[in-house]
Structure 1
């Protein structure tokens, strides 16, 4: 499982798209989902898109996760420019438990 965070800027969105974004973006639910979730600034110019991408093959890595997350972002249909992509491979996360 990968968690991908894409930072970007909207590029020429229409008023109808702005209205849809206002309804779709929820600053209080910034979690990672497979369809992706937006958080935006008030002007709807910049955004953060969080997406959870399953590893389809044991050898899947950052390039495959990035490609699938960008496809999920494109599926929303908002014109945009990607500024930065950060990928976390959840298979590499170690959980340290405290001894009690």
Structure 2
């Protein structure tokens, strides 16, 4: 799974697009979804688009970027991309606390 964050600006939004975005901006969840979600300010000048992209065994950042841009484009708002950040969740290591570390810490404090 990839998480892709696209930062950009809206370009030449039609008034109906502006109205739809203003109405929806408060309803958009701040989350990574496959369809993608926007966060932006009320002026609708800049946005952050978050998209979660499934990863195939041979997929890398270029494929994830391409799919995220396609999801952004599918929303239909004219835009200009400024930056793209991709995180490959397959590479994230989760450190779990061992059960003994809490007990040994408590015995040292006691």
TM-score tier, shorter chain, comes to over 0.9
**Partner secondary structure for residue 20 of structure 2:** helix
5+ unaligned residues in a row in structure 2: which ranges? Answer: 100-110
What is the count of residue pairs matched by the alignment?
Answer: 99
Over 3 Å off, 4+ runs: none
5+ unaligned residues in a row in structure 1: which ranges? Answer: none
Alpha-carbon distance, 1:40 to partner: 0.3
Q: Name the one with the larger helix percent.
A: 2
* Contact 1:27–1:39, Cα closer than 8 Å, also in 2: no
Normalising to structure 2: TM-score of the pair? 0.85
CA distance in 2, matches of 1:48, 1:26: 14
CA distance in 2, matches of 1:28, 1:14: 20
Alpha-carbon distance, 1:37 to partner: 0.2
Larger Rg: 2
Normalising to structure 1: TM-score of the pair? 0.93
* Contact 1:25–1:37, Cα closer than 8 Å, also in 2: no
